[in-house]
Amino acid sequence: MSGSVLYDAPGPRARARNLVLSVVGGLLIVGLVALVAYRLYDKGQFDGAMWDIFNYAGIRENILDGLAATLKVFAMAAALSLVMAVVLCMGRLSDHKPVRWLATGFIELFRSVPLLITIFALWVGIVDAILPVEVNIEPMWALVFGLAIYNSCVQAEVLRAGINAVPTGQREAAYAIGMRKTQVTASILMPQAVRSMMPTIISQLVVTLKDTSLGYIILYPELLQTARLIASNTQVNGDYPYVPTVIVIGTLYIVLCLALSGLANWIERRGRRAKTGIAPTEAKVPEQTGALP
Amino acid sequence: MNVLLDNLDLFREGFVGTVSLTAGSAALAVVLGLIIAGFRVSPVPPLRLFGTVWVTLLRNTPLTLLFLVAFFVVPQVLFPGIDSYLLAVVALGMYTSSYIAEALRSGINTVPLGQAEAARSIGMTFTQTLRIVVLPQATRTALPPLSSFLIALTKNSAIAGAFNNVDLFNIQKVLSNEGYNILVIFIWITIGYLIVTFSISALFRTLERRLEVAR
């Protein structure tokens, strides 16, 4: 960060002022944290007994089960959303108007509906209301399909941006040597689009991972719901161990997400060094306009 | 179509709930985002560290977890009897502020170096440089991502409805419990959200046009 552009190299007075600000700011922050910590301590949330619950095999197994459920949903939703994204992206760039309209409509609709609304609608049986058949959707599948539908729309737009970033000469050259439409897309455009968009795609996968926590609301026992169950079913000295469980589960989430965004950043840095192909995008969450441009 | 007419009051309440949640937390998020962005580029190391920690932690935490903390930990442990609207606004505002701070920071980075150097050379301090020269220009580049984060905020506000705030999602829950056709409810709720998100993008398009400068 070239922060130094915004201010001069500090002279003696500025150094003194910065020191004072450092101390005051640092004290304020430490004080705030200490105040919260003290309130928590005062309520007995830092008692040894509160934290002792994580020594029970049952609770550890619960947490592991929750983690496994979260990862399972994430893996299925991620795979499904990427496959659907390729299809939607192809549809959106199709030469046939009806296909293009259908894909665009689908993308614009589900990108602008809150994910929670989609998941909830799937859970309470919107499929029954549309199709004449009786389908009973379990919370897990409602979560997976909801996540897949929403994220595929975002990823499809990311892929489309990637394909549009490939220089036109490449497509023209491919057609000129006699490649078919499918061949051009599959062997010229897609590989480069995926490669350049990889950091953004992975950043959106981080969002998918975070959004698996919406399973909490439809009562699917993933990590967050597990945390709530543990905290509300365990009593230590007549108090519920909300703070310890939130700290443990929150750390798990943050570590998972940081690992995934670390991967995105690594790929971005690695791609920067490469001399060939189009440059990779920045590893950041794609903008969700969610309303027609 | 009867679903809407029979429950017009509920829908209106939910719509107003969503709008006020969005407005309240958007205001908080923009103010916090500005402060945190200022922290992240400031010459004072502890503030810079605080800004970095704030952004990293909040961007990698699921919003639902923040809501869980806000609705189960904060009232029971820290401040009992706090209003649920306030809790939702704080959770949403804090979460979104981390994204807005990043958008502003990358906006600050796109302001040409010469601008800040010129400001410094005529003797402006860090705060003056930021306030008079850099931020007004950074705001222009930060507007499109800002609008997309506010739209994301509108959509995220549905989570507040799951925690007993009255908003559109809450109405969807209530009505589907009462056995109305879920497809019809879904359509009306979606239209409600579309109205809010369309207004935000229209507002920002106007803002962008107003703030546009010929370069």
Task: Nearest by CB to A213, from B62, B72, B176: name it.
Answer: B62
Among B215, B53, B30, B13, which residue's Cα sits nearest to residue B139? B30
Domain A56-273: homologous superfamily in CATH: MetI-like (1.10.3720.10)
Inside any domain, residue B203: no
Inside any domain, residue B50: yes
pLDDT of A37 higher than 70 = yes
The residue range of the domain holding B138 is 20-166
pLDDT of A65 higher than 60 = yes
Q: How much is the pLDDT for A264?
A: 86
Task: Nearest by CB to A129, from B41, B147, B181: name it.
Answer: B181
Q: Which span out of A3-7, A53-57, B151-155 was modeled with the highest average pLDDT?
A: B151-155
Can you state the angle between helices A57-92 and A190-211, rounded to 10 degrees? 140
Alpha carbons A157 and A281: distance in angstroms, whole number = 14
pLDDT of A291 higher than 70 = no
Amino acid at A162: G
**In chain B, how many domains are there?**
1
Half-sphere exposure for B172 (CA within 13 Å, toward CB): 35
Count of residues for chain B?
A: 215
Q: Check which CATH number belongs to the domain holding B101 and give it.
A: 1.10.3720.10
- From chain A residues 33-72, the ones with a CB under 8 A of any chain B CB are 36, 39-40, 43, 45
pLDDT of A100 higher than 50 = yes
Inside any domain, residue B205: no
**End-to-end Cα distance, chain A:** 33
Q: Which span out of A184-188, B131-135, B183-187 was modeled with the highest average pLDDT?
A: A184-188
Average pLDDT over chain B reads: 87
List the beta bridge partners of residue A81.
none
Inside any domain, residue B25: yes
Span A137-164, pLDDT tens digits: 888 999 999 999 999 999 999 999 999 9
Inside any domain, residue B38: yes
CA distance A98 to chain B (A): 23
| Domain spans of chain A, in order of start | 7-42, 56-273
Alpha carbons A183 and B28: distance in angstroms, whole number = 51
Count of residues for chain A?
A: 293
Query: Taking CB atoms and an 8 Å cutoff, what residues of chain B touch A2?
Result: 109, 113
Q: How much is the pLDDT for A169?
A: 92
* φ, ψ dihedrals at A240, nearest 5°: -95, 135
Report whether B21 contacts B105 (CB < 8 A). no
Task: Nearest by CB to B169, from A1, A116, A240: name it.
Answer: A116
Inside any domain, residue B215: no
pLDDT of A2 higher than 50 = no
Amino acid at B35: I
Alpha carbons B7 and B97: distance in angstroms, whole number = 35
- Interface check for B195 against chain A (CB to CB < 8 A): the answer is no
Residue A50: which pLDDT band, with cuts at 50, 70 and 90?
Answer: confident
Inside any domain, residue B200: no
List the beta bridge partners of residue A236.
A239
- From chain B residues 4-33, the ones with a CB under 8 A of any chain A CB are none
* φ, ψ dihedrals at A236, nearest 5°: -120, 120
Amino acid at A288: Q
Task: Provide the total of helices (H) and of strands (E) in chain A, helices listed first.
Answer: 12, 0
Query: Taking CB atoms and an 8 Å cutoff, what residues of chain B touch A212?
Result: 62
